[in-house]
Amino acid sequence: MTAPGGMGERRAGYTPSLVSGTHRFLHFQCIQMRQCHPDAMFHGKAPMSPEATAPVRKFRLLTDTLIHAMRSGAMKPGDRLPSVRALCRIHQLSTSTVRRVLEDLEAAGLIEAQPRRGYFVLEPRMPSPSPSASRPQKVAVAPLALRLFDALRDSHVAPFGSPFIEPAWLDLDRVNYHLRQAARRFSPERGLRDLPPGSDALRQQIARRALHQGVTLDWEETVITCGAMEALNLALRAVARPGDVIAVESPTFYGLLHAIENNGMQALEIRTDPARGIDLDELDAAIPRHNVAACLLMPSLQNPLGFVMREADKQRLIDILERHRIPLIEDDAYRELAFSDVPYRPVKHYDRSGRVLYCSTFSKAFSPGPRIGWLAAGRYYRETLLLKLMGTLATPIPNQMAVASYLQHEKPDRRLAQLRRRLSGQLARLADEVERHFPPGTRVSRPAGGYVLWAALPDNVDTLAAYDATIADGMSYVPGTIFSPSGRFGHCLRLNGGFDFDRDALARLARLGRRLTTG
């Protein structure tokens, strides 16, 4: 469907002499992209002569500008695009060229034309919800996980498969300062005082920061752990036994599957919508059918999909757990990296009976070095404390002292706000590159925070088959099969957007796209 050329030019309260916010953004983007080196618009392709490519460049410039505006959030679903006439004026293009750009975007499912109203931004095409699982599965993700981590050790490999943010983007200097100060202040008496459950000062700082974000934690029922993975393993051992069935999202973070594997348990995949989260009706039915012992979920900023469950759905999840009298282990590792200015509430906020074991970490947004995580275990506090004492005994005391001091004396919120904006822009750019270079029909997630992007390719693509050749080409990624105990996401992959993409890294990403397209 094609919209009339001049519609949307005037509306109530519109002043022709002023430039609207969207017009201004598009005009700015146009100027910025014209100032780029010509090669940048073709992402590594050899430039053609200016005379031969001027129409092509202008066509591609407008296409890229509109896609970037939608990806960056400058134009949101439901927003009306500038009229054909306005786009012609801003970009100095002919009507036929602008119409062709808009028709291509409509064919791609990014916009739609509404008769006598104009073009409007559509909701993004997300990866389809996962299919249902018929039965619990044993988990065996460790061998592939080892291969993934081997690639991280090679500094010549573009780290699209890394689980970490670029270190230079974190507050490492200030964290290291507090680590040095803690090492000077450490004493044997302090070492005894901060044995499990951990440093009182640190647990109080964690509870205080959570309260400012709308989360109430009982610091006296919080156990300090060696990172979030120890917290998750302690929580699993506190509520389940080897052979028990644990309900998980599908896809889910392979670290959670590894924890289930490590403890000899089984995973039951529950269908998960990329925008809304786990299918609560299916979960409700699966709990008695498969004798589920516990749920292990990431309801907020889920890895790899990036969604945040709606508040009403979080409340309903609690109702389901209460009715079936089973616990939830909530992994909230990315909460400091949410793009929204309004903090979301974890499921723990709605917990009425202490059945939610809430796990988080200092590593993702501050610094991975100290390996500080925590577990607010509710009614399972005593069990987790005993398991901690019988396992690693204690989290390194100077590290606890340093993080407590950092949280008390530093003001990280401004830096975190800058980091969130940077990550949002990085993921938007990464999504643009994937949609440009990957096989037709590829769909990408729209993360609400964090730094990873999930891409679902056509069903006939095998992302694991291309892995070794891609590593040899100097780039890593995470094949989708590792996010499922049944290996059902072989046509998907996860990419890290938390580092600076140079031209070489983007060229390797483009080559991966061609490799996946041609097989």
Tell me, yes or no, whether 14 lies in a domain. no
Are 399 and 425 in the same domain?
A: no
**pLDDT at position 126, please?**
66
Are 266 and 306 in the same domain?
A: yes
**pLDDT at position 76, please?**
83
Structural domain of 232: 171-409
Measured over the CA atoms of residue 8, residue 1, residue 75 and residue 77, the dihedral's sign is positive
Q: Name residues whose C-beta falls within 8 Å of residue 195's C-beta, 6 or more positions apart in sequence.
A: 393, 394
The whole model's pTM is what? 0.78
Given 385, 409, 433, which residue is the final one in a domain? 409
Tell me, yes or no, whether 162 lies in a domain. no
User: Helix, strand, or coil here: 239?
Assistant: helix
Asked if 45 and 39 count as a contact pair (C-beta separation under 8 A), the reply is yes
Are 336 and 213 in the same domain?
A: yes
Given 409, 442, 464, which residue is the final one in a domain? 409
Are 335 and 466 in the same domain?
A: no
CATH number at residue 430: 3.90.1150.10
**pLDDT at position 218, please?**
92
**pLDDT at position 132, please?**
62
Are 392 and 443 in the same domain?
A: no
Are 231 and 380 in the same domain?
A: yes
Beta bridge partners of 494: 454, 478
Tell me, yes or no, whether 16 lies in a domain. no
Residue 113 structure tokens: 């034309």
User: What domain count does the chain have?
Assistant: 3
- Angle value at C-alpha 375, between 370 and 378, nearest 5 degrees: 165
Are 404 and 281 in the same domain?
A: yes
**pLDDT at position 409, please?**
95
Tell me, yes or no, whether 139 lies in a domain. no
CATH number at residue 103: 1.10.10.10
User: Helix, strand, or coil here: 474?
Assistant: coil
Closest CA to 276 of 317, 245, 319, 246: 317
Tell me, yes or no, whether 5 lies in a domain. no
Are 398 and 261 in the same domain?
A: yes
Name the amino acid, one letter, at 433: E
Given 383, 409, 435, which residue is the final one in a domain? 409
Are 109 and 251 in the same domain?
A: no
Are 195 and 330 in the same domain?
A: yes
Q: What is the mean pLDDT of each run of 10 residues along the chain (519 residues)?
A: 38 31 43 34 32 64 83 81 92 90 82 87 71 81 91 92 95 96 87 87 95 87 97 98 97 97 97 93 96 98 96 97 98 95 90 96 94 96 96 93 96 94 94 93 93 96 96 97 94 97 96 93
Tell me, yes or no, whether 163 lies in a domain. no
User: Helix, strand, or coil here: 308?
Assistant: strand
Are 256 and 347 in the same domain?
A: yes
Tell me, yes or no, whether 219 lies in a domain. yes
CATH number at residue 305: 3.40.640.10
Under DSSP, the state recorded for 480 is G
Tell me, yes or no, whether 135 lies in a domain. no
Are 87 and 228 in the same domain?
A: no
